[in-house]
Structure 1
Amino acid sequence: MQGADATDVQRAADPSPAAQPAGRDRYFDTLRAVALIRVVTYHTFGWAWAGMVFPSMGVMFALAGTLMAKSLERPALKVIRGRLRRLLPPFWFWGFFVVVAMLIHDWMPGRQIVYWIVPLGDPPGNAWGEQAWEILWYLRTYLWFVLLSPLLLRVFRLAPVPVLLLSPAPILVVHFAWEPPDNRFGGALTDLATFLFCWMLGFAHREGVLRRLKPFAVAVLSLAAVAYGGWYAFTHQAETGSYDLDDIPLAQAFWSAGYVTLLMCAKDHFGIDFAWLTRFPRLDRLVTIFNARAVTIYLWHEIALILAVPLIDQFWNVPAFETYLPLESQWFMFGIGWVLIAVFVLLCGWVEDVAGKKKPKLLPGGRTATS
């Protein structure tokens, strides 16, 4: 998600046709790109198993935690201001269109509209715009993690391994001992508890803790967490009607914890860096675009999928399209959705550049002149 952190991107010292971001980790960049693709896929097809194949939210929180720990080598207030500056302008730009559209469709806002300025709670809206704004839980949770990170990192450094191992405790408390209120506060608390381990795992990677752990022990504990999360999801379907991890926070927490730990430790213990991406300039640039425009893709993808439906409806009025195109297929809608996402990236992605105090570009990672 945190493509807003792409302000760290600089040109590589090695002149090549495509500018490579200096200091970027292409393995992590690729994970973030895959996570975004999985999010769009899930919101198109609604496959309950998609979260098990690749737990995008856990991956994105872990990657964001790594970047936050790195940034906190600088003064905390400066880091927090920088994160807010990178996140809020794209959110405000997107939110303007969503709020105006809901107002046109009879929405009457109250005092809670303040959450459309700083999303420390879920911004309010009406049912007409729900598909667009329901994804904002991620931004709200990310924002809280950013604000809490100076304290969390200080606590983590006191006893890294015990703190990491205890970080699933809040979701166990929330699930078994104390039920949070059914309101904005309760929802935020549950999401923070669900993904706390992943965020702390990002700290552990950045601080070199994962590299010092024994691979066998890490693998056993990770697989045990995945097994428990999967078992809980499949044995509690009656409560939600599905094994979808998004509907079962406890299962989501443990599945993501184990899965993402394996991904992070694989990098530390096997030195995975995906440097080979540079041999495929187009694929490498695509990964760069996904990371530099991650906030734009995340915010606008649901609107793209919403607009794909009436657009495809118009295709039925063209006999050739009706005859030769698979207009009823969800895969066709998936394709049209990505075309519209690309349009939004071109039209709106520059806001991320402005928020990061960079020169606005249609697309990042373009060709540069060589000396």
Structure 2
Amino acid sequence: MTRLALVTDAWHPQVNGVVRTLDTTRKELEKLGIGVTMVTPAAYKTVPMPTYPEIRLTITRPSRVYRELDEAAPDYIHIATEGPLGMLARRWCKFNGMGYTTSYHTRFPEYIRARAPIPLSISYAMVRNFHNAGVGCMVSNGTLEKELAARGFRRLMRWVRGVDTVTFDPDVPPAFTDLPRPIFLNVGRVSVEKNIDAFLKLDLPGTKMVVGDGPALPALKARYPDTVFVGSRIGEALTACYTSADVFVFPSLTDTWGLVQMEALACGVPVAAFPTTGPLDVIADSGTGALDEDLKKACLAALEIPRDRCRAYALGFSWEESVKQFWENLQTANRIHLSTSKAA
């Protein structure tokens, strides 16, 4: 059996697109007969991340991580995050002369800048060095690929995400039927980098709804008392929130893909967003969303989009194809690395 070690600092109980992507990828790889060892914070002591306690950072001796990887004896290793576990896994690969692939899930430099006055140039230098030391860096879309290439990232490979069209089903009964319509919905981490304030300050008809939890939730609740905040939801309860909505509003300027956009579309809900990385590639010219620098204008335009068009579009993004692309990238990157090493 071919063995893969998948290392990530983002894992349950975190509820976000990165965790859902990696967990689904693991499950689909195992269906293909690939043995997957997950190296996650679940096995280690963690402490709250400063300014963002919902995210916990692993505290451990390097030898424990090295032992876990030794015991996994992987044929391939994929490091999904640039956190403590990711850094230790990188060192293990270096000690053992083994190549590793990475994936660029999060605009880490922009997240840091939203909380501390650290220049992007410094943060990007650190992140770039981490990814460039690998044999391949997987990115979710063409817009992000061009941006990272311009910043000096090398060996970029495309890995398009999928969406669970069974769980996210437009036929799931809505959870909210008595709110003034139209309902404009946002789902995700409630934190400063998600730019939710840009959505909530809009003068829109009907109801604004936010699903999720995070450090910015108390302040937004106080600032926008007319908004319906329903907290975190998963599974069918989350789907019922999506099917309650008329428009899904995605105000983020920092996401690299935005899996929640695909979940909304799978539920038949059109998207309103800024024309930036993520929405530009998820929505593109599909006619399933409205992108505009004026977010209110995008929200109102999205009301006119047929729901069945959104569902039909989402059906084209299967997790099976996404994971097949991931696995092909992994093999290709390592094959090129090995052939180049032998030639040198």
TM-score range relative to shorter protein: under 0.3
Give me the TM-score of the superposition, normalised by structure 2: 0.25
Greater share of residues in helix? 1
Structure with greater contact order relative to length (CA < 8 Å, sep ≥ 6): 1
Greater share of residues in strand? 2
Give me the TM-score of the superposition, normalised by structure 1: 0.24
